[in-house]
Structure 1
Amino acid sequence: MSLVESRVTLTLTYIALAILLVITLFPVALLLLNSVKPAAQIVQNPLAWPETFRWDNFTRAWQDARFGQTMWNSIVLTATTIVLVCTTASLTAYVLARRKIRTWKIVTFYLLATTTAPIQLFLFPLYFGFARLGLINNPFAVALIYTAVYSPFAIMLLRTYFLAVPKELEEAALIDGATHWQVFTRVMLPIVSPGILTVALIIGLYSWNEFLIATTFLQRADRMTAVVSFFLLSGQYSSDWGEIMAAALIIVLPVVVLFVFLQRRFIEGMAGGSVKG
């Protein structure tokens, strides 16, 4: 390839990336713009620059959505789900990667089927079962549901990380007198930690934004998550769009900040998990 062709290719690549960047950031910029505008101006022209900046949209959104309580509920629920999923998925993935299982095709089919099956199929049986057990409005019970829903994906992803670890490391540790549990905790887990971080970020994002299960099983006002309280800001006949935009920005901001700080580890983890098993 000549120098001119390489420059043309590089220029076209940058142009394509710039277009994709604009498409990606446009909704975010629109959210930022409308979060400080009066509701009437948003309805009139959502693309216009604010005539007056309504910073009180954020304070009203925080109070009306009770974000002090609901965001704490979301944090507790998300953290519990991450711990449960990472613990169960890492143990299962390690066994599936290191043990020869005759029914592996059946296990794979089961994991793929449960990953793609819609939760609506199990919602009513789960609700009546949890109601009988008195587990409605119990955040830990909801975390168990999230764990069952998200674990198949986490297992399939983490298995690729364990497969990428040479078996010689495990065999050397066993020869030195380590138990299988010590091999798993002291040898394997530190090596696959980028994969566990990737799973934690993805599962955390799913749990933070989940609405259907949260609104079904957490019905009390003091148990609601931030996403559910945000949904309740919308009125039946009219809505304060400035307040709604500000509330949406409050919910999105923690996830964006967390991803910005951990984006390098996240990208490394996704690249490291691209091993076929």
Structure 2
Amino acid sequence: MSLSESRLTRFIVHVTLAVLLLITLFPIALMIVNSLKPSAEIVQNPLSFPSDLRWDNFVRAWSDANFGRTLANSALLTGLTILLVCSTGSLTAYVLARRKIRTWKILTFYLLASTTAPIQLFLFPLYFGFARFGLINNPVAVAFIYTAVYSPFAIMLLRTYFLAVPKELEEAALIDGASHWQVFARVFLPIVSPGILTVALIIGLYSWNEFLIATTFLQGQDQLTAVVSFFLLSGQYSSDWGVIMAAALIIVLPIVILFVLLQRRFIDGMAGGSVKG
């Protein structure tokens, strides 16, 4: 390839990446602009800059959606889900990757089917069962539902990380007298930690934004998650779009900040998981 062709290729790549970046950031930029405008200006022209900055939209959104409480509920539910999925998923993935499972094809089919099956199929039986045992409005119980829903994906992804670890490391640790638990905890976990972080970020994003299960099983005002309280901001006949945009920004901001801080490890983890399947 000549120098001119190389420069042209680089230019096309950079332009394409710039366009994709613009498409990705445009909704967030539009949300920020409209969160500082009164509702009338948003209805008139959502693409215009605010004539007068309305910082009180954030104050009203915080109080009207009770974000002080609902954000804490979302953080608790998300943290419990991440802990349960990563702990159980890593143990299961380790066994499936390092042991010969005769029924692996059946397990693969089951995991794939569990990943693609819609939660609506199980919603009514789950609700009646949880109601019978008094588990409605119980964040821990909802975290177990999330764990059951997200674990198949986590297991399939984490298994690729365990497969990428050389067998010689496991054999050497066993020869030195380590138990299987010690091999898992002291040899494998430090190596596959980028994969666990990747799973934690993905599962955390899913749990933070989940609406259907949260609104079904957490009905008390003190148990609402941030996403559900955001949905309740919209009135039946009228909506203050400035407050709604401010509330949406409050919900999105923690996820964006977390991803920006951990993006390098997240990308490294996704690349590491694709080495061997």
What's the TM-score, normalizing by structure 1?
A: 0.99
Structure 1 residue 255 corresponds to structure 2 residue 255:
yes
Give the secondary-structure state (helix, strand or coil) at the position aligned to 2:145: helix
For the residues of structure 2 that align with 1:228 and 1:222, how far apart are their CA atoms?
12
1:68 alignment counterpart: 68
For the residues of structure 1 that align with 2:23 and 2:92, how far apart are their CA atoms?
39
Q: Is the 8 A contact 2:71 2:225 kept in 1?
A: yes
2:121 alignment counterpart: 121
Report the Cα offset of residue 89 of structure 1. Answer: 0.3
1:102 alignment counterpart: 102
Report the Cα offset of residue 51 of structure 1. Answer: 1.0
For the residues of structure 1 that align with 2:246 and 2:44, how far apart are their CA atoms?
18
Q: Deviations over 1:131-153 (max 9, x none)?
A: 00100000000000000000000
For the residues of structure 1 that align with 2:147 and 2:63, how far apart are their CA atoms?
31
1:57 alignment counterpart: 57
Report the Cα offset of residue 20 of structure 1. Answer: 0.8
Q: Deviations over 1:60-118 (max 9, x none)?
A: 00000000000000000000000000000000000000110111000000000000000
2:235 alignment counterpart: 235
For the residues of structure 2 that align with 1:13 and 1:256, how far apart are their CA atoms?
25
How large is the RMSD of aligned CA atoms in angstroms? 0.5
For the residues of structure 2 that align with 1:108 and 1:187, how far apart are their CA atoms?
26
Q: Is the 8 A contact 2:209 2:227 kept in 1?
A: yes
Report the Cα offset of residue 154 of structure 1. Answer: 0.2
Which amino acid is the alignment partner of residue 65 of structure 1? A
Report the Cα offset of residue 275 of structure 1. Answer: 2.8
For the residues of structure 2 that align with 1:207 and 1:236, how far apart are their CA atoms?
27
Structure 1 residue 150 corresponds to structure 2 residue 150:
yes
Give the secondary-structure state (helix, strand or coil) at the position aligned to 1:239: coil
1:87 alignment counterpart: 87
The answer to which of 23-32 and 213-222 deviates more is 23-32
Q: Deviations over 1:175-210 (max 9, x none)?
A: 111110000001100000000000000000000000
For the residues of structure 2 that align with 1:222 and 1:15, how far apart are their CA atoms?
48
Gaps of 5+ in 1: none
Report the Cα offset of residue 276 of structure 1. Answer: 3.4
Number of equivalenced pairs:
277
Instruction: List, as ranges, runs of 4+ consecutive aligned residues in structure 1 with deviation greater than 4 Å.
Output: none
1:273 alignment counterpart: 273
Which amino acid is the alignment partner of residue 159 of structure 1? R
For the residues of structure 1 that align with 2:15 and 2:262, how far apart are their CA atoms?
27
Q: Is the 8 A contact 2:86 2:196 kept in 1?
A: yes
Matches within 5 A, 1:203-222: 203-222=203-222
What's the TM-score, normalizing by structure 2?
A: 0.99
Q: Deviations over 1:23-80 (max 9, x none)?
A: 1111111000000000010001000111111000000000000000000000000000
Which amino acid is the alignment partner of residue 8 of structure 1? L
Report the Cα offset of residue 18 of structure 1. Answer: 1.0
Give the secondary-structure state (helix, strand or coil) at the position aligned to 1:238: coil
Instruction: Give the fraction of aligned pairs with identical amino acids, expressed as a percent.
Output: 81
Q: Deviations over 1:209-243 (max 9, x none)?
A: 00000000000000000000000000000000000
For the residues of structure 2 that align with 1:101 and 1:184, how far apart are their CA atoms?
18
For the residues of structure 1 that align with 2:85 and 2:8, how far apart are their CA atoms?
47
Give the secondary-structure state (helix, strand or coil) at the position aligned to 1:235: coil
2:45 alignment counterpart: 45
